[in-house]
Structure 1
Amino acid sequence: MDPNVASGLIGFGGAVVGAGAALLGGLLQHRYQAKTTAAERTQEYGRAAGEKALTELYALRRHMIECGMADIPEARQPWQYIAKTHMDEAELAVMLMPKAQKVQDRISEVMGAGSQQMTTSGGDRVRQTTVGRGMALEAIDILSAYMRGDALPKPSPRVERYRETTAHSE
């Protein structure tokens, strides 16, 4: 083979290999960036959902404090419906948090235990609002610990009793 033709074919082969490597490198980089972007988006979405839940829990706590006083302000009526709305909104936001199953389960237990205890308090508004404040604070502690990356706090005695009663009813 003519040395000029051979060197031309070797050069062409090198260009094809180089172009292939560049395309493969670009494809791999694009996939990595897409995964990184998706992970960041998921993390941002989870953080936003957690912040929404905390906002609702703090609103629930504030509402329960004001409703535990002698006279409930007109803006807080009907107080039980407003409390239930805050509870539902907080629980919904927590359920939208990706990769947070343990937190979702714990918040559901806290809300279930609090709702159960509020219901069994009868018409005693002061008792109901005290339970509601405690429920909101416990949920805030759980969610705050998760968002900080800390270990979740231990369940309260109220939640432990709730677990026992729900385990017996299944």
Structure 2
Amino acid sequence: MEAETLAGLVGLGGTVVGVGGTLLGGLIQQRHQARTTRDERAEARASEVESRGREVAEKALTELYGLRRHALTWKVGMSSDEQNQWAKTAHTMADDAELNAALIPGADALRERLQDALSVTRKSFSEDAYETEHEPYKSEFDTGHSIALLSAYMRGDEALPTPTLRERRESTAREAQRDL
């Protein structure tokens, strides 16, 4: 083979190897960029979900503090209409807190526990307020456990506070109803 032909073939071979390397490098780079972009999107979605979770948890917490303040407005000796309006407002605030908590993503245990705590609070509005002659808030109206549950979630605590005795009874009753 002549030297010129051999030089041409070597040059052509070098070009093929160079183009192949460039294409392979481009493919590897494209896959890496696609993976990086996918990871960044996933991280952004997770951050957005966490942000939304905190936002609705804060709204639920605000409702619970409002409910706590509202509970302090109960007065012994209110008329039947005043009692009914007071209870209606209290139930609406509890419902709003539960609704916001229902929108917290990935917090099934919190939602269930909060549902039990708010169920106890609602019952106390309906039963304790009308059955006692003292300031009911000082007995059973305490929204503190619901507030403690949401606060633990927002702080990122590993475990939620232990359920109260009334919450355990409420949870057991609700599970018994489900089984029927």
TM-score interval, smaller chain? 0.7 to 0.9
Counterparts of residues 74-113 of structure 1 (less than 5 Å) = 78-113=85-120
Whether 1:40 and 2:47 are equivalent positions in the alignment is yes
Unaligned runs of 5+ in 2: 1-5
Measure, in 2, the Cα distance between the counterparts of 1:53 and 1:69: 28
Contact (CA 8 Å) 1:49, 1:94: kept in 2 or not? yes
Distance 1:167 1:16, change over 3 A: closer
Measure, in 2, the Cα distance between the counterparts of 1:28 and 1:118: 54
Counterparts of residues 1-170 of structure 1 (less than 5 Å) = 2-68=9-75, 78-121=85-128, 123-124=130-131, 128-130=136-138, 133-134=141-142, 136-150=143-157, 151-169=159-177, 170=180
Contact (CA 8 Å) 2:56, 2:103: kept in 1 or not? yes
Larger Rg: 2
Distance apart, 1:157 and its partner CA: 1.6
Distance apart, 1:123 and its partner CA: 2.4
Contact (CA 8 Å) 1:68, 1:130: kept in 2 or not? no
Provide the secondary structure at the position in 2 that maps to 1:66.
Answer: coil
Distance apart, 1:48 and its partner CA: 0.4
Measure, in 2, the Cα distance between the counterparts of 1:140 and 1:99: 19
Distance apart, 1:111 and its partner CA: 1.3
RMSD: 2.5
Measure, in 1, the Cα distance between the counterparts of 2:58 and 2:31: 41
TM-score, normalised on structure 1?
A: 0.85
Distance apart, 1:71 and its partner CA: 6.8
Contact (CA 8 Å) 1:68, 1:129: kept in 2 or not? no
Measure, in 2, the Cα distance between the counterparts of 1:41 and 1:7: 50
Q: 4+ runs of 1 displaced by more than 6 Å?
A: 69-72
Distance 1:138 1:86, change over 3 A: same
TM-score, normalised on structure 2?
A: 0.81
Distance apart, 1:18 and its partner CA: 1.2
Measure, in 2, the Cα distance between the counterparts of 1:62 and 1:69: 16
Contact (CA 8 Å) 1:113, 1:158: kept in 2 or not? yes
Unaligned runs of 5+ in 1: none
Contact (CA 8 Å) 2:117, 2:167: kept in 1 or not? yes
Provide the secondary structure at the position in 2 that maps to 1:78.
Answer: helix
Compare 109-118 and 42-51 and name the one that shifted more.
Answer: 109-118
